[in-house]
Amino acid sequence: MRGEVAIVGYGRTPYSRAKPGEPVLNVDEYIAWAADLALQKAGMSKNDFDGQGLGVSHAEVAHTVNWSAATAENLGISPQVLLRADQGGASAASMLIRAAAMIHAGIVDRVLVVGADTPLNIPSVAPGLPLSPERTRGVYWDFQGPFGVMGASAQFALVQTRYMHEHALTSEQLGKIAVSARYHASLNPGAIYRKPFTLDEYMNSRMLSDPIRLLDCVPIVNGGLAYIVTSGKTARSITDKPVYLRGFGEINNYYHGSRALPDITTTGFVQSAPQAMKMAGVQHKDINFFQPYDDYPFIAMMTIEDFGFCNKGEGGRFVEEHDLSFNGDFPMSTDGGQLSGGQPGGAIGGFMPLVEAVTQLRGEAGVRQVKNANIGAACGFGGIPYGRPGRSCISLILGTEP
């Protein structure tokens, strides 16, 4: 399936922190806005998706049953195939793989994939705790909330502490990732936090859950993203800049070691990345930029090493020894990532690595453009399982040639 499908359009709405006085859009409005941007980019209309595919990412904000079909109703599209992903921050990547399989099978020729969320519109009792049923109900919550688990920061802090016990990693090395993301955000008008900060400012930021600091954490926003994927043939007929899906790898509910007592310092990318690169026929040296799922610098660092850019345990040193900026020797999170760009809900942040990879490969990244970008890697990372780092780990290799 290498190079059989291509992305021909993408959209990313402006994000909002829903400050007083700002207009408050709902999730359906953000979906339509993002879809509109993607359709404009592709030179297509919503009617091109009648009888084709529509993919809808999970969102946290309350939505109806049959939400993918209801979204089709809201958009006035009559698709043959509905895709729905509930893989958190891996949802955008997983729908690309599902869409590619549908196109490969000849069931449809093209799929419009949308995602939006408005977590800031949900009443919240504590930072990051909107009162949505899935945050505060069910066995998963019952065995964490009452036990004193302070959300993702505490969950990832536990992984990071263990990692730092087993491997050499300094806070300064992780700080470099955060500083670099903010630098890229300063070059991206769409990023939510754009004022650069220094390593000292990172180091002096408030400790939230040792060893995770305030500037390690992703800011939540309202917003939406979308992309359009078609057969290679259709892609070539509508754009001279198709971005081909050259390879993909996916693993869900990965355990490193035993299920009862796994090693939590290694993620499923050790499985999905080699799979994607083999399918794509590329090696690490061929990859011009890397867009990890970067809700925390530590997660980005672990993804670098599990993707195989360096040996296990050497991610910190790798970060220290490379220039992560768009014009450096290892361009990474070139849009400012989620860290400084903002995360439109846990699920929708996963569109950002993919959309930025496509932006770069089309040469449309403006002042943050990576020179001669022909092959890029992007990641989806979704969900936090009990006591482990990531439920879904998806690796994508995209390129300007099939």
Partner 1 sequence: MADLGQSKPLPDITDLTRPFWTAAKNGKLVLQKCQRCATFNFHPKPWCIECGSRELQWTAAKPSGTVYSYTVSRTVAMNSPAWAAEMPLILCLIDLDDGARLYGQVTGCRAEDIRIGMRVDVHFEDISDEAGIPKFRPALQPATAG
- What is the Cα–Cα distance from 224 to 28, expressed in whole angstroms? 9
Q: Which of 70, 154, 238, 282 binds partner 1 (CB under 8 A)?
A: 154
The kind and range of the H/E element at 106 are none
Question: How far is C-alpha 277 from the chain's CA centre?
Answer: 18
x/- mask, partner 1, residues 14-43, rule CB under 8 A, reads ------------------------------
Number of residues that bind partner 1 (CB under 8 A): 47
The residue from 23, 65, 105, 165 that contacts partner 1 (CB under 8 A) is 165
Instruction: Decide whether 47 or 161 has the Cβ nearer to partner 1.
Output: 161
Q: Is 64 in the site for partner 1 (CB under 8 A)?
A: no
**CA torsion sign, 165 to 271 to 82 to 354?**
positive
The crossing angle, in degrees rounded to 10, of helices 297-306 and 151-166 is: 50
Shortest separation between residue 7's beta carbon and partner 1, angstroms = 33
Radius of gyration of the chain (CA): 20
10 Å CB burial of residue 299 (0-12, 13-18, 19+) is buried
Which string of x and - marks every residue 358-397 that binds partner 1 (by CB under 8 A)?
A: ----------------------------xx----------
Give the helix ranges, DSSP H, for 297-362: 297-306, 315-321, 337-341, 345-348, 351-361
Map residue 205 onto helix, strand or coil.
Answer: coil
Closer residue to partner 1 in complex, CB, 163/244? 163
Assess contact for 249 and 275: CB atoms under 8 A: yes
Instruction: Tell whether residue 264 is a contact of partner 1 (CB under 8 A).
Output: yes
Does residue number 313 form part of the binding site for partner 1 (CB under 8 A)? Answer: no
CB 118 within 8 A of CB 343: no
User: In the range 211-250, which residues lie near partner 1 by CB under 8 A?
Assistant: 211-212
Query: In the range 118-147, which residues lie near partner 1 by CB under 8 A?
Result: 125-129, 131, 133, 135-147
Please give the single-letter amino acid code of residue 330. F
Question: Smallest gap, in angstroms, from Cβ of residue 345 to partner 1?
Answer: 14
Stretch in the footprint of partner 1 (CB under 8 A) among 209-217, 305-313, 327-335, 370-378: 209-217
Residues that bind partner 1 (CB under 8 A): 125-129, 131, 133, 135-154, 157-159, 161-162, 165, 206-212, 258-261, 264, 386-387
